[in-house]
Amino acid sequence: MWPSLKTQDFKVKANAAIKQVQTSCSNENTKRQLVHALNEAIKLAVDRNMVAHNPLHLGMYTSDAGGIDFRLEVFSLRDSSIVMSLDKLSQIANTANELAGALHVLLGRAIDDT
């Protein structure tokens, strides 16, 4: 990794990778897919940071039937209106796994195309 990027956050590094792909990848289809995948990774990093920097808690909600529903959730310490359910977390994990596989394939193609 370039020394100037070593201490930068993920978004800066991913944007640098996008610029590199745009200038060095000769296959337009691979370039387009790779730029899209890297932009998706940047979006996923926001959710990753939500999970990494905020606690899991047990939410208590009143149900329509008058009882209490309990849910494990991640909630933002900065904005308590931002809550992530375990279902959402599972979807994010699946998306991240699929994206990692796609990036692996696309980076291999991009290397072959240079």
Q: Is 63 exposed, middle or buried (0-12, 13-18, 19+ CB in 10 A)?
A: exposed
pLDDT at residue number 92: 94
Q: Which of 96, 88, 110, 90 is nearest to 31 (CA)?
A: 110
pLDDT at residue number 105: 95
Q: What number of residues does the chain have?
A: 114
How far is residue 71's CA from residue 55's CA, in Å, rounded to a whole number?
Answer: 13
pLDDT at residue number 68: 94
Note if the pTM is more than 0.75.
yes
pLDDT at residue number 106: 93
Q: Which of 48, 36, 32 is nearest to 89 (CA)?
A: 48
Angle between helix axes 28-52 and 10-24 (nearest 10 degrees) is 180
Q: Which of 17, 19, 44 is nearest to 107 (CA)?
A: 17
pLDDT at residue number 3: 65
Cα–Cα distance list, 112 to 8, 26, 81, 100 (Å): 28, 10, 46, 18
pLDDT at residue number 114: 66
How far is residue 66's CA from residue 96's CA, in Å, rounded to a whole number?
Answer: 37
Average pLDDT per block of 10 residues along the chain, 114 residues long: 79 94 91 96 95 91 90 91 92 96 92 76
